[in-house]
Structure formats: structure tokens, C-alpha cells
């Protein structure tokens, strides 16, 4: 026992004492841990966005041997790899499980020249055999659970029976099935045929197609079906591109022709990006992303981004679910790039002469094979290539847009949608909402604090101060509800009246103050310190008057409606739920915070300073503005800071009082979307672990850091001030 | 002031007097805002329960009269210009610059929509308040307005004067029957359902266990046998329920609407009826109180836009109770550490600032943290360990009551810490030293002297924390609140308190009904009433805290002196 005085105690008392010390210590540590936990947990979720990607070669127990693979793919989850060989054998291997080859293998029962997958995604393949016929097949992966583990059984089916479609002589072909419609585009020398099969149904052979034709073509080498069979792109090796509208496949319409290469040269590699709104075109070391856009001149391709690789690119392959792609250069290096972010995240060394490439749907696995049958498999850890500082904070040129923009648009119905994760509109909205709220709250709170602390009668102050502070306890959902459902329609209907309020109330009060001096002393003297109470009546009256004047004013000055007038004359649009409403409602929420701290600061100014100033002949007003405010200014500063911190993070008011559209416009009559509201709206829908999810966490972390820093500075300033008051 | 009246405008401006007035006006405006806000909510919230008179408006032309029956809800005034643009009506008197219109709630949403209509004042030919007009509150399609034509109970049809009495009897009958049905549904059927679900999980658990195949087979068979028994009970109960429901057959009332048509309303759909125009003041008061009671005690109906808010009130109270159980020990111990045990240096000052700042961190951040850490991390971990048989359906790995309480506990820790610390600081050193000098250990001093003295401060902190938690919505939206919870978090089924269940909350109810419901106009009075309830709870809590703090101040004035 270290403490001699404790050793004299009965054991039980000493034990209780020590246990208490331990418990309390743990409680103290708990607080520190809790604070650290919030910060580090948020960081831990956010961090993977910024971690580098990696590709790891998979080393199987026994490298399987394949004969001339022509096609590589995997199942949806990336558990089973599929290798189709030139002899028609289809072999499957367990990617997660030592690359063991699954038995029994399947067969397509005919030699294969090439396999083409559906242009719009979907689990349909076309087999091209040596006789030039095309046979459609499907690969199914049946998942079953036996006693111990998940079992995946692959099988091959022929949805249109084993009846092939004869294409005749051709150079290139693609197909897309959309519900009951199947479209095959066939490029032959000098012409294109579009075969449209309608009423296609699984289990029934294809009926005769009605062909459409584009003739008199030259210099075209590749055919690409555009998004949902609406567009047809024809590409020549010299970079020439012809754009056709094929909504009516029997009568294709030429829309535009242009060249997708700058300067001399050849197309060395090309690939459509997911969704097929963009074409990637490789020329030497450069891959250019051309996106289909629409401007005054109609539809055309626009080069929106370039990727620079260390060696000439010879093969491009898009990812199946994201706007990413793999580029293989002449040094046999596979580079993993992402369109939206323009990032090249990682690379892998492939076997020499790799011709066939398979990327699993979720881009967790890469299969590569050279003609001699050597198969290399890789696991990819490339989870957030779509995010970078540039996409978060810079302007990004998205597919289909005429120029780079800031945009937040995190999800949409389609799965080939390009998510737009620019934080700029959200930062803008957050600051806009906070700014307008501060514009309302700061003058009200600071002026109010000045009066309450310096002029108000003590009897009144005892009620007013807690009264206003109780307002801080009002649930913000109440303020938001009133703002959205009561204030917003009220202001929309009485915009001119509000304008009147701005002028009428201050001017009217000044007038009343002027008249006040002509009242006899015996009335005014006892009222010193009760001005705030006296002012309430006139304020109500002036508000009433302003609302009475609003209508006639609109009639006389603004043709009956200020709103229409603003739209027609000034081009200012009016949203019912806008920054003004948020400013007023959130201002009300922030007033008590600022008021309380500012009032404390002013009230705490040592008495001797004030008395000294008054004794030197300064009026009370002069004393307040020149001595008291100056001394208390750090306190006022910290009050405003803390108020700002609260306004930045407020959720419910913004959620309910604005339209929550992420636009960037300082117009006070337009809405905005703030960080906090954005989290509240999107968090419940975000897929756990996705880029979207992590970005939402990033915004939460930013809010946390911002308010923590702002409050810390304010608190620090306040403590210094308290020490100074102590010394005065 | 001294220079007053001696000179003109300039010296008046220089004296600062006008600015003092401006400052005073700022305070006045803030006070007005508080009073106005509370007043607005109180007025709208309280008015909701009053049995408003039913008015009959006759509008339209002489050969095509339109008769409307309903409650007046709102009036507003439009500029003549806008009126003329909107209606194309150019027949207003020359001198008239504004047009007034009234909003009439005509109900009968299904049979004679819309249920709210604007009527221009100058187009109303006649207003009356028919004494025999009746309001029927229904379980679906909102209120019905009209005149009682006949009541059919079973096979007899009562019309005329007797219909009134028959209606009262029918309502009593309906109430009793509904009570039976509710008992059957909530107590019996739910219990059997829970039993069947438990058996399903047991079956899974057996399959996942490492018992021998034969062992498993017999266990499975046992489960199947018990399930068959339960399913038989279920079928019996369901039959019984259907019998109860069938007893409503043949009970209905016929209502004559204002437009002269009659419609038949099944008794099963009727909650209650009243005739406001025939009510005395006492009758109205009675109706008012019963409305308030129904509001507080009933389940919501019609996508939360009608009926009561009991589940939301209950959910809020449960969540807040759990939260205070969690936050009180943690906050108090932390404060004791900071004030009594830790060495008062830069580090403790830093922690104190950090704790203070935690109070300023936006609540939505706590929501995000709660969702990520508690739900997806801790909750998913618990599911893996304790409830593998229910997977992939999550038990604790989904937002629920426990996580909401924990998140809010974290959010309110600073409130308790700061308040407790304040209380501890106020206790004079001499008290501690006296105790120690008498031979008490530090722990004894803490438990016997300091904590009792600080208890009002602790209580203040907890009350403030509860008030804050009760009004918080944003984080709850992420960690467990739903718009409509099928079951309460507490019921008669083991383990009685279901920490994993989602719950309803007053604040979220306001947001959801006010902003997400399809018929905001109809829901608005209810939202005001809910808001009033929430506001009352929170203001009362805050008032209690303030009073407690004041008493505390008085108590220590003695000790310090």
C-alpha cells in the first residue's frame, strides 16, 4: 500500500476507494475515447477513397492448361471464371478457390471463331462459327447451398433453340436485346445491314428479320451499337466516324460525320464505354474519350478527356458496371483507368501477346490470355477509381454535357448512369444557407445582446435572457415545419409586404423615438431600461401596417404581383422554399446561441471600465460603443463563430424549408442543398461501402472538422477573454 | 439623457438615443418571435380538437345551385387583378380592389371529392348552420359531412327521430366489437406469429449447428410438429377473427349529403359521430377533451394524417428513457473525473474544450456515426455472433431503438458533463476538505458528500439532455425512426422490451406528415397538434431545469457565505 493513511483503513473501505478511482478514471478515458472514436471512425470509412488501387496476380495450385481461348468472362460475383476455347469447349474455374477447374465442363458443340456479348450488357452471347453463322447462347450460374458452403453450378442454354442466324459475308457485327426486340448490326464491305427481330421470346426460335440497309460506305472498319439501340456508330481505321439514328432500324438516318483523330494516324484501339455514350479511341500513347453530346448544331462527338499512357496502346476493354476501362500497351502492361475522374489508378503486367481479356462484372478479377493458351488471372482492388480531389472539387466534363461543370447527382434509375460527385454545389449551398441565416441572426442577436446587457432594467433582464435562451431548446423540426408550411406560403403571397417591413419598421421606430423625446420627463424617466417592452407594441403595429400596404404597393408599382414583376423585369425566378425562408427560420434558431454568448461577454465587462468612461463625460451610448464593445469584441467574435457553426450543420430546417436542389446561385429567392440535408436525404439509400456512401461520410467528416475547429477557436478566444476580465 | 431637448436632430443622433431604440427593437423582435411562434403553434394545435360548426353554403346560379356543407378552415384575400386573371371573371363591382374567399373542408373524399374547396365570398348566396348536420369520423377516407338519414342495425332500419338513438347504440356496439378484434389481432395472433417465426429460426439454428445428421433430423421433426400445432391455432384464431368481422355485416348508416345524394357508410368504418351545431358549450368541451384523449391514445390512420399519435409519443418516451439510462452514468462519471480526480492541467483543459465542442457538432454527424459504427459495425458483429440463424435478415445490424438511444446518448453527453461539472465547481473546497479531514476516503467524500450536493445539478443536466434528445430528429432518421412502426418497442412477448425494433418519434412524425404525406392540407391541423405536444414536453422539461438550477443557486449561496 503506497498511501500510509490508507493502510490504516479497513480493507473494504480501501477497496471501495480504489475501485471508485478506477471507475472514474475509466469514465474519463471513455469520454476521450468517444471523441476520438467519432473522428477516427469517420476517417476510417472515408480513407479507402484515397488509398491506392492494386492488382495482384493469382497463383493457382496447378495452372490449368487451355487450348486457344477465344473468350474470357466471369459470373456476376466474380466467383467462377469462364474460358471458351476455339474447339467449342467451355471450361469453368473457381476463382476464389485455388483456380480449380470445375467439372463437368460444358461444350458449345462446334468450333468457335469469336464470341460477342450483348452490346447493352445482359447475359446473352453470340457465337460465330466457322461457317459464318451466329448462334445465341446464355451462361447460367445456379447458386445452391449444401450443408457447408455455397455451390455454383454453371450451365449453357440456347434461348432461341440451336437455330443459327446466317449473316453472310461480313467484317464486324454487334447485337443488343431489349425485352422482346433483338437488333443485329452487320457491317460488310461497303454496307451495313440492320436485322431487327421483334416478338423475340425465350424458348422459341428466331423468326425472319426485317432488314434495314445503309449502302455506299467506304473506309468503315468497325460497327458499334449505341445506347439502347438508338444510335449506330460506324468507325474507320483512319478515325472517320459516321453517326446514324436507328430508332427505326429499317430506315436508318445519317446524322453526322466527323473524324475522331487529331492529325495523321490510325486508330490503334477503340472501345465503347459502359452505356455507350462515349467512345474511347487510342492513337499511339494517347486514349481520347469522345462523348456524344447535343448542342446548337445537333448531335456530335466531343473529345472530353485524354489519357496519356507510357507506351502505345493496342487494346482497350471497358468495365461492365462502371465507367472504367483497361488499356493494354505494347509493353504488355494493363493500365486501369477511369473515365469520369480521368485517373489511371493501377497497372498489371500481362503475359506476352495477350489477345483475350475478361473483366468480372464488379471488376474484382481480370483474366488475360495469350493465343498459346497461357491464362493469367488477377485480383483487382480498385474500389474507388471514380473519386479524386479533382472530381470532388474541380469542374468535371461529364458524358453528354457540352462543357465541364460542377454537379452533384449521385444516383439515378439507370445502371449506366455516370454519378456526379462534385462537392462544390454542396459547399456552396451550405455556405449560402449559413450566410443568409447569419445575415438575419447576427444583427438581431448582437444588437439585442447590447441592449439586454447594457441598458435593460435588471427585473426585465431576469426574464428576457432565459426567455430567449429557451428558444435555443426549440426543436429545429418545429422551426422547419413552420418555415416550410406556414412562413413560405405567407411570404410568397406577401412579398411586397416583406419589402415594406424592411423599410417601414426601422424608419417607423426611429420616428417614434424622435417623438419620444417630446414626452415629459416624468413619463420617460421610469421607462429607462424598458424600451424593449415599449417597442413591442409599435413593432406589431408596424408589421401590420406593412402587410396592409403590401397589396396596394404591388398594385401600384409592380403590376399587381412583385413575383411576376421580378421574373419578367429582372429575370429573377422565385422558389416558394428559398434561401430567404431558410435565412429567417435558421436565423431564429441561431439567435439564442449568439445572443446568449454575446450577452455574457458584454455583461461581463468589468464595472470600473464603464464607470471610468461615464465619469469622463461619455454618454452611455459612447461608453457602450467605444469601451464596452471593444473590450467584449473577442466574446462577440466567438458568439458569431459558434452561431455560424450551428448554422452550418443544421439539418431539419434546411431540409424542410428549401427544395434541396443542388444548384449554385446566390439568388436569395432560390433554394440550395447543404451537406447536412444531403446526408439526411441520401444516406438511407446509399449502398454500404460504395463510393457514394464514403463520400457522404466524407461530408460528415468535413462538417465535424469544420464545426470542431470553429468552436475550438471560439472557445479559446472566450477563455482568453475570461482571463482578461479576471485581470482587469 | 442630459442633452435631451436642448437641440435638434443632429445632436439627437449623436447622443445615440436612436440606436438604443434600435437595440431595444432587436430584443423586442426576438421576444415577439418566441411568443409569436409558441402562440401560433398553440392556437393552431389547440383549435384542431374543437368541434367547429358546420356551415352550409349555397353558391352557384339560380338554375344551377351548388350546396356545400363543411367546416370553415381558412380565409384569404387576393388582389382583384390576380383574381381576374385566375378566373376570367370580369363582373366585379368597380370599387372592389380585393377578393376574399373561404376554404371549406367538405370531407366525403371518396364519394364527392375534393375534400377542400375554396369559395369566393361574393359568390355565396346564403350561409346557414343546419342544426341536424352531422360529422362522421371514419377509419378511412376522412370525415363525412351530411345529415343522418337512417341507421340499419342487423336487419332493422331506423329512420327519423329514433335514428339518433340507434346511432349511439350502433357506435357503442362497434366500439366493443373493434375492441375484441384488436385484442384478437394484437395479443393472440401476434403471439402465434411470433411463435412460428421463432420456430423457423430454431430450424435454421439446428441446420447450422454441428450436430450429427440423425440428431438434426429428429430435431427438425420436433420443430415441424410444434409448428403444425401453432399453425392449427393460427387457423382457429383467424376463423374467430373473421367471425367477429362478419358481425359488422348488416350494420350501416345512410347519410344524405349536401348535394342531396345519399350514401351508405358501413358501421365498421365509423369511429365516432357528432353534431356540432346542436352541441351546448359543455358538450363541445366534452367533445374537445375526448378528441384530445383520442389524439394521445390512438394509433394513426390514413398514412398518419388522421387518428392519434400514441405510437410516436410512446416511441419518443421509450427512446428518451433508454438514452437517459445510458447517458447519466457516463456523463456524471466523466464530469467527476474531470473535476475531482484528474490533475487540473493543460490536458484536462483540452478535454474540457473538446467536450464543449462536441455539443456544437451537428447532430446529423452523430447520425452518420451511429449508422456506420453502431448499426453497420457493432450491430452486424452482434448478428454474426448471436443471431446467425436469422441472417441474412439483420437483427441488430439494422437501425433500431437501441442504436437510436446510444447515438442520442453520445449526442447529449456534453450537456450532462457540463451541467454536472458546474454543480461540482460550486461545491466549496472547504466541504471536501472537511470531509477528508474527518477521515473519510476520497470515495466516501464523493458518495456521501459531493454527489448528494451535486445531485440537483446532475438532474438539471439529465433533464436538459432529455429535452434535447426529445426534439432531435436528423440523427434519428438514420438510426432507427420510421414513419410507421407495425409494433411498439414494448409488448407482451418475450423479452418484452425489443431493443432491435424500429420506432416512431414525435419530431419525425411532424416532418413526415407535414412534408411527405400526399394530402398535406388535411394533415396540417394534426401536425400542428403534434408540434404543440412536442413543444409542450420540451418547454416543460426546460422550465423544470431552469427552476432546478435557480434553486440550486440559492442553496449554495448559503454554503459559500
**A560–B34: do the CB atoms touch at under 8 Å?**
no
Q: Does B5 score more than 70 pLDDT?
A: no
Q: How many Å apart are CA B555 and CA B551, to the nearest integer?
A: 6
* A649, three cell numbers: 450543420
**B474–A510: do the CB atoms touch at under 8 Å?**
no
Peptide bond into A104 cis (omega under 30): yes
Q: How many Å apart are CA A631 and CA A609, to the nearest integer?
A: 9
Q: Cα A537 from chain centroid?
A: 49
Please give the helix or strand (H or E) that residue A633 lies within, else none: helix A629-649
Residues 6 or more apart in contact with residue B326 via CB below 8 angstroms: B405, B406, B409
Q: Does B323 score more than 60 pLDDT?
A: yes
pLDDT digits (tens, 9 = 90+) for A661-672: 888 888 888 889
**B37–A447: do the CB atoms touch at under 8 Å?**
no
What's the pLDDT at A40? Answer: 93
Higher pLDDT, B394 or A579: A579
Conformational region of residue A78, where left means phi above 0, alpha means psi within -120 to 50, and beta covers everything else: left
pLDDT band at A148 (very low <50, low <70, confident <90, very high): low
Q: Does A1 score more than 50 pLDDT?
A: no
* A31, three cell numbers: 469520454
Whether chain B has a CB inside 8 Å of the CB on A550: the answer is no
Burial of B535 per CB tally in 10 Å (0-12, 13-18, 19+): buried
Query: How far are the Cα atoms of A38, A85, A597, B555 from residue B464, in angstroms, in the given order?
Result: 23, 72, 18, 20
Residue of B nearest to A17 (CA): B443
pLDDT digits (tens, 9 = 90+) for B498-543: 888 889 999 999 998 888 877 777 788 889 999 999 999 998 988 8
Ranges of each domain in chain B: 9-47, 55-143, 150-279, 313-560
pLDDT digits (tens, 9 = 90+) for A13-70: 889 999 999 999 888 888 888 888 999 999 999 999 988 999 988 875 556 677 778 8
To the question of domain A424-491+577-727 being in CATH 1.20.1250.20, the answer is no
If we measure between CA atoms, which residue out of A58, A71, A133, A55 comes closest to residue A99?
A58
Backbone angles phi, psi at A478, to 5 degrees: -70, -45
pLDDT digits (tens, 9 = 90+) for A703-720: 999 998 999 888 888 888
What's the pLDDT at A178? Answer: 84
Chain B environment of A16 (Cβ under 8 Å): 441, 443-444
pLDDT band at A697 (very low <50, low <70, confident <90, very high): very high
pLDDT digits (tens, 9 = 90+) for A213-265: 888 788 888 999 888 778 999 998 888 899 999 888 888 889 998 888 877 88
Chain B environment of A27 (Cβ under 8 Å): 329-330, 333-334, 336-337
Whether chain A has a CB inside 8 Å of the CB on B76: the answer is yes
Ranges of each domain in chain A: 55-170, 260-414, 424-491+577-727
For residue A439, the SS3 value is: helix
Q: How many Å apart are CA A367 and CA A355, to the nearest integer?
A: 11
Whether chain B has a CB inside 8 Å of the CB on A45: the answer is yes
Of B27, B527, B531, which is closest to A532 when you measure between CB atoms? B27
A578 and A425 Cβ atoms separated by less than 8 Å: no
**A476–B473: do the CB atoms touch at under 8 Å?**
yes
Whether chain A has a CB inside 8 Å of the CB on B160: the answer is no
When scoring A470, A598, A681, A705 by the number of chain B Cβ atoms within 10 A, the one with the most, hence best to mutate, is: A470
Of B22, B98, B478, which is closest to A683 when you measure between CB atoms? B478
- In terms of average pLDDT, the best of A101-110, B1-10, B429-438 is B429-438
Q: How many Å apart are CA B144 and CA B110, to the nearest integer?
A: 9
Q: How many Å apart are CA B353 and CA A715, to the nearest integer?
A: 7
| Span between the terminal Cα atoms of chain A, in Å | 47
- As assigned by CATH, the class of the A260-414 domain is mainly beta
**B28–A539: do the CB atoms touch at under 8 Å?**
yes
pLDDT band at A647 (very low <50, low <70, confident <90, very high): very high
Q: Does B366 score more than 90 pLDDT?
A: yes
Whether chain A has a CB inside 8 Å of the CB on B547: the answer is no
- The chain-wide mean pLDDT, for chain A, equals 87
Q: Does B342 score more than 60 pLDDT?
A: yes
DSSP code at position B503: B
Residue of B nearest to A699 (CA): B365
Chain B environment of A476 (Cβ under 8 Å): 471, 473-474
Whether chain A has a CB inside 8 Å of the CB on B209: the answer is no
Residue of B nearest to A550 (CA): B79
Q: Does A328 score more than 50 pLDDT?
A: yes
Report the percentage of chain A scoring pLDDT > 70.
97
Q: How many Å apart are CA A367 and CA A357, to the nearest integer?
A: 6
Q: Does B1 score more than 50 pLDDT?
A: no
A233 and A243 Cβ atoms separated by less than 8 Å: yes
A206 and A214 Cβ atoms separated by less than 8 Å: no
pLDDT digits (tens, 9 = 90+) for A424-483: 999 999 999 999 999 999 999 999 999 999 999 888 888 888 888 888 888 999 999 999
What's the pLDDT at A640? Answer: 94
**A482–B41: do the CB atoms touch at under 8 Å?**
yes
* A24, three cell numbers: 472514474
- The sign of the dihedral angle between the CA atoms of A618, A622, A624, A626 is negative
What's the pLDDT at A307? Answer: 93
Chain B environment of A14 (Cβ under 8 Å): 441
What's the pLDDT at B557? Answer: 63
Q: How many Å apart are CA A447 and CA B241, to the nearest integer?
A: 67
pLDDT digits (tens, 9 = 90+) for A295-326: 888 899 998 999 999 999 999 999 988 899 99
Chain A environment of B511 (Cβ under 8 Å): 477, 480-481, 652, 655-656
CA-based diameter of chain B, in Å? 110
Q: How many Å apart are CA A671 and CA A581, to the nearest integer?
A: 9
Residue with cell 454554503: B559
The mean pLDDT value for A356-364 works out to 88
What's the pLDDT at B271? Answer: 84
pLDDT band at B7 (very low <50, low <70, confident <90, very high): low
Count helices and strands (H / E) in chain A: 18, 31
pLDDT band at B561 (very low <50, low <70, confident <90, very high): very low
Q: How many Å apart are CA A382 and CA A48, to the nearest integer?
A: 10
If we measure between CA atoms, which residue out of A611, A647, A641, A644 comes closest to residue A721?
A641
- As assigned by CATH, the class of the B313-560 domain is mainly alpha
What's the pLDDT at A412? Answer: 67
Conformational region of residue B520, where left means phi above 0, alpha means psi within -120 to 50, and beta covers everything else: alpha
Q: Does B2 score more than 50 pLDDT?
A: no
Please give the sequence-ordered ranges of beta strands (E in DSSP) within B318-417, or none if there are none. none
Please give the helix or strand (H or E) that residue B183 lies within, else none: helix B162-183
Residue with cell 466574446: A635
Q: Does A210 score more than 80 pLDDT?
A: no
pLDDT band at B476 (very low <50, low <70, confident <90, very high): very high
Q: Which residues 425-464 on chain B approach chain A with CB closer than 8 angstroms? A: 441-444, 446-447, 464
In this structure, of A628-642, B89-103, B140-154, the range with the lowest mean pLDDT score is B89-103
Please give the helix or strand (H or E) that residue B334 lies within, else none: helix B310-336
Backbone angles phi, psi at A328, to 5 degrees: -105, 130
- The sign of the dihedral angle between the CA atoms of A454, B555, A724, B419 is negative
Tell how strand A343-349 and strand B116-120 pair up: unpaired
Three-point CA angle B490, B491, B496, nearest 5° = 70
What's the pLDDT at B558? Answer: 58
pTM: 0.89
Q: How many Å apart are CA A416 and CA A399, to the nearest integer?
A: 11
Q: Å from A609 to nearest chain B CA?
A: 19
Q: How many Å apart are CA A690 and CA A415, to the nearest integer?
A: 14
Provide the residue count of chain A: 728
What's the pLDDT at B187? Answer: 77
**A37–B356: do the CB atoms touch at under 8 Å?**
no
For residue B514, the SS3 value is: helix
Amino acid at each position: 500500500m503506497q498511501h500510509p493513511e490508507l493502510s490504516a483503513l479497513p480493507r473494504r473501505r480501501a477497496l471501495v476507494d480504489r475501485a471508485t478511482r478506477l471507475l472514474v478514471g475509466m469514465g474519463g478515458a471513455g469520454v476521450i475515447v468517444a471523441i476520438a472514436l467519432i473522428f477516427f471512425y469517420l476517417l476510417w470509412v472515408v480513407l479507402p477513397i484515397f488509398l491506392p488501387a492494386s492488382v495482384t496476380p493469382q497463383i493457382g495450385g496447378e495452372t490449368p492448361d487451355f487450348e486457344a481461348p477465344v473468350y474470357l468472362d466471369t459470373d456476376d460475383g466474380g466467383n467462377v471464371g469462364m474460358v471458351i476455347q476455339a474447339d467449342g469447349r467451355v471450361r469453368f474455374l473457381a476463382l476464389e478457390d485455388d483456380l480449380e477447374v470445375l467439372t463437368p465442363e460444358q461444350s458449345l458443340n462446334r468450333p468457335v471463331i469469336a464470341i460477342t456479348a450483348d452490346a447493352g450488357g445482359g447475359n446473352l452471347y453470340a457465337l460465330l462459327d466457322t461457317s459464318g453463322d451466329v448462334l445465341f447462347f446464355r451462361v447460367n450460374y445456379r447458386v445452391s447451398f449444401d450443408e457447408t458452403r455455397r455451390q455454383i453450378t454453371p450451365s449453357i442454354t440456347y434461348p432461341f433453340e440451336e437455330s443459327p442466324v446466317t449473316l453472310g459475308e461480313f467484317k464486324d457485327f454487334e447485337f443488343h436485346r431489349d425485352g422482346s426486340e433483338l437488333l443485329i448490326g452487320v457491317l460488310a464491305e461497303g454496307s451495313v445491314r440492320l436485322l431487327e427481330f421483334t416478338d423475340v421470346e425465350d424458348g422459341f426460335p428466331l423468326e425472319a428479320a426485317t432488314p434495314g440497309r445503309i449502302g455506299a460506305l467506304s473506309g468503315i472498319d468497325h460497327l458499334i451499337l449505341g445506347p439502347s439501340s438508338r444510335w449506330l456508330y460506324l468507325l474507320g481505321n483512319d478515325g472517320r466516324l459516321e453517326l446514324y439514328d436507328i430508332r427505326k432500324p429499317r430506315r436508318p438516318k445519317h446524322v453526322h460525320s466527323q473524324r475522331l483523330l487529331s492529325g495523321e494516324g490510325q486508330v490503334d484501339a477503340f472501345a465503347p464505354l459502359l452505356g455507350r455514350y462515349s467512345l474511347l479511341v487510342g492513337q499511339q500513347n494517347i486514349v481520347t474519350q469522345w462523348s456524344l453530346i447535343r448542342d446548337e448544331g445537333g448531335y456530335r462527338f466531343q473529345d472530353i478527356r485524354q489519357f496519356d499512357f507510357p507506351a502505345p496502346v493496342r487494346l482497350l476493354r471497358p468495365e461492365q458496371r462502371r465507367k472504367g476501362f483497361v488499356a493494354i500497351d505494347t509493353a504488355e502492361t494493363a493500365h486501369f483507368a477511369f473515365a469520369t475522374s480521368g485517373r489511371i489508378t493501377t497497372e498489371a503486367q500481362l503475359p506476352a501477346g495477350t489477345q483475350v481479356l475478361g473483366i468480372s462484372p464488379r471488376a474484382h478479377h481480370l483474366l488475360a490470355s495469350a493465343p498459346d493458351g497461357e491464362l493469367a488471372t488477377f485480383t483487382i482492388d480498385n474500389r474507388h477509381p471514380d473519386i479524386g480531389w479533382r472530381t470532388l472539387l474541380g469542374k468535371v466534363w461529364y458524358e453528354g454535357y457540352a462543357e465541364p461543370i460542377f454537379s452533384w447527382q449521385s444516383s439515378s434509375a439507370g445502371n449506366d448512369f455516370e454519378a456526379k460527385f462534385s462537392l462544390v454545389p454542396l459547399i456552396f449551398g451550405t455556405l449560402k444557407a449559413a450566410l443568409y441565416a447569419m445575415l438575419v441572426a447576427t444583427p438581431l442577436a448582437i444588437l439585442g445582446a447590447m441592449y439586454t446587457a447594457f441598458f435593460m432594467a435588471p427585473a426585465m433582464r431576469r426574464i428576457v435572457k432565459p426567455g430567449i435562451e429557451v428558444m435555443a431548446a426549440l426543436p429545429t423540426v418545429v422551426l422547419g415545419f413552420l418555415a416550410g408550411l406556414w412562413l413560405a406560403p405567407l411570404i410568397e403571397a406577401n412579398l411586397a409586404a416583406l419589402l415594406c417591413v424592411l423599410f417601414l419598421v426601422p424608419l417607423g421606430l426611429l420616428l417614434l423615438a424622435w417623438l419620444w423625446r417630446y414626452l415629459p420627463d416624468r413619463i420617460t424617466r421610469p421607462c429607462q431600461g424598458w424600451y424593449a417592452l415599449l417597442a413591442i407594441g409599435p413593432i406589431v403595429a408596424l408589421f401590420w401596417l406593412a402587410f396592409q400596404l403590401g397589396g396596394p404597393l404591388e398594385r401600384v408599382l409592380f403590376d399587381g404581383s412583385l413575383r411576376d414583376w421580378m421574373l419578367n423585369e429582372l429575370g429573377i425566378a422565385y422558389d416558394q422554399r428559398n434561401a430567404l425562408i431558410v435565412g429567417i427560420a435558421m436565423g431564429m434558431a441561431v439567435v439564442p446561441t449568439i445572443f446568449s454568448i454575446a450577452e455574457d461577454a458584454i455583461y461581463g465587462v468589468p464595472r470600473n471600465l464603464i464607470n471610468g468612461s461615464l465619469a469622463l463625460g461619455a454618454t452611455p451610448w459612447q461608453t457602450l460603443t467605444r469601451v464596452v464593445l471593444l473590450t467584449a469584441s473577442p466574446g462577440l467574435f466567438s458568439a458569431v463563430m459558434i452561431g455560424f457553426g450551428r448554422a452550418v450543420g443544421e439539418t431539419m430546417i434546411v431540409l424542410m424549408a428549401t427544395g434541396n436542389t443542388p444548384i449554385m446561385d446566390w439568388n436569395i429567392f432560390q433554394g440550395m442543398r447543404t451537406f447536412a440535408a444531403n446526408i439526411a436525404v441520401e444516406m438511407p439509400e446509399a449502398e454500404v461501402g460504395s463510393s457514394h456512401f464514403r463520400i457522404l461520410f466524407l461530408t460528415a467528416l468535413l462538417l465535424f472538422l469544420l464545426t470542431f475547429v470553429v468552436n475550438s477557436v471560439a472557445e479559446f478566444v472566450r477563455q482568453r477573454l475570461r482571463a482578461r476580465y479576471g485581470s482587469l | 439623457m442630459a442633452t435631451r431637448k436642448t437641440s435638434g436632430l443632429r445632436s439627437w443622433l449623436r447622443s445615440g438615443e436612436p440606436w438604443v431604440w434600435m437595440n431595444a427593437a432587436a430584443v423586442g423582435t426576438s421576444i415577439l418571435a418566441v411568443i409569436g411562434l409558441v402562440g401560433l403553434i398553440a392556437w393552431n394545435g389547440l383549435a384542431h380538437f374543437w368541434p367547429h360548426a358546420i356551415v352550409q353554403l349555397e353558391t352557384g346560379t339560380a338554375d344551377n345551385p351548388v350546396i356545400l356543407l363543411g367546416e370553415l378552415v381558412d380565409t384569404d384575400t387576393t388582389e382583384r387583378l390576380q383574381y381576374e386573371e385566375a378566373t376570367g371573371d370580369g363582373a366585379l363591382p368597380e370599387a372592389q380592389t380585393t377578393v376574399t374567399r373561404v376554404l371549406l373542408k367538405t370531407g366525403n373524399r371518396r364519394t364527392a371529392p375534393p375534400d377542400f374547396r375554396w369559395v369566393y365570398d361574393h359568390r355565396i348566396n346564403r350561409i346557414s348552420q343546419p342544426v341536424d348536420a352531422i360529422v362522421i369520423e371514419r377509419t378511412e377516407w376522412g370525415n363525412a359531412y351530411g345529415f343522418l338519414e337512417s341507421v340499419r342495425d342487423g336487419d332493422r332500419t331506423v329512420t327519423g327521430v329514433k335514428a339518433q338513438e340507434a346511432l349511439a347504440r350502433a357506435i357503442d356496439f362497434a366500439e366493443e366489437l373493434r375492441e375484441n378484434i384488436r385484442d384478437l389481432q394484437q395479443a393472440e395472433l401476434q403471439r402465434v406469429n411470433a411463435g412460428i417465426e421463432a420456430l423457423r429460426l430454431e430450424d435454421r439454428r439446428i441446420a447450422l449447428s454441428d450436430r450429427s445428421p440423425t440428431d438434426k433430423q429428429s430435431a427438425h421433426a420436433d420443430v415441424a410438429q410444434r409448428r403444425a400445432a401453432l399453425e392449427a391455432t393460427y387457423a382457429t384464431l383467424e376463423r374467430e377473427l373473421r367471425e367477429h368481422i362478419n358481425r359488422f355485416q348488416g350494420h350501416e348508416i345512410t347519410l344524405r349529403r349536401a348535394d342531396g345524394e345519399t350514401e351508405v357508410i358501413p358501421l365498421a368504418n365509423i369511429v365516432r359521430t357528432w353534431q356540432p351545431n346542436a352541441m351546448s358549450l359543455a358538450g363541445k368541451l366534452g367533445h374537445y377533451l375526448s378528441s384530445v384523449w383520442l389524439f394521445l391514445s390512438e394509433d394513426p390512420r390514413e398514412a398518419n394524417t388522421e387518428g392519434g399519435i400514441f405510437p410516436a409519443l410512446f416511441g419518443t418516451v421509450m427512446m428518451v428513457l433508454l438514452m437517459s439510462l445510458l447517458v447519466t452514468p457516463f456523463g456524471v462519471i466523466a464530469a467527476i473525473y474531470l473535476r475531482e480526480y484528474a490533475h487540473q492541467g493543460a490536458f484536462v483543459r483540452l478535454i474540457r474544450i473538446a467536450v464543449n465542442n462536441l455539443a456544437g457538432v451537428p447532430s446529423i454527424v452523430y447520425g452518420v456515426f451511429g449508422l456506420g459504427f453502431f448499426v453497420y459495425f457493432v450491430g452486424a458483429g452482434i448478428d454474426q455472433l448471436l443471431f446467425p440463424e436469422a441472417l441474412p435478415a439483420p437483427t441488430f445490424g439494422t437501425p433500431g431503438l437501441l442504436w437510436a438511444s446510444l447515438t442520442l446518448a453520445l449526442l447529449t453527453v456534453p450537456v450532462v458533463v457540463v451541467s454536472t461539472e458546474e454543480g461540482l465547481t460550486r461545491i466549496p473546497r472547504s466541504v471536501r476538505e472537511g470531509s477528508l479531514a474527518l477521515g473519510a476516503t476520497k470515495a466516501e467524500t464523493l458518495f456521501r458528500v459531493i454527489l448528494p450536493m451535486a445531485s440537483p445539478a446532475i438532474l438539471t443536466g439529465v433533464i436538459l439532455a432529455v429535452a434535447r434528445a426529445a426534439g432531435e430528429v436528423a440523427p434519428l432518421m438514420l438510426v432507427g425512426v420510421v414513419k410507421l412502426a407495425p409494433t411498439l418497442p414494448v409488448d407482451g412477448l418475450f423479452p418484452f422490451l425489443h431493443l432491435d425494433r424500429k420506432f416512431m418519434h414525435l419530431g419525425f412524425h411532424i416532418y413526415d406528415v407535414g412534408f411527405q404525406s400526399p394530402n398535406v392540407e388535411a394533415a396540417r391541423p394534426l401536425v400542428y397538434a403534434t408540434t404543440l405536444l412536442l413543444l409542450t414536453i420540451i418547454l416543460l422539461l426546460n422550465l423544470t431545469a431552469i427552476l432546478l438550477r435557480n434553486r440550486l443557486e440559492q442553496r449554495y449561496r448559503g454554503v459559500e457565505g
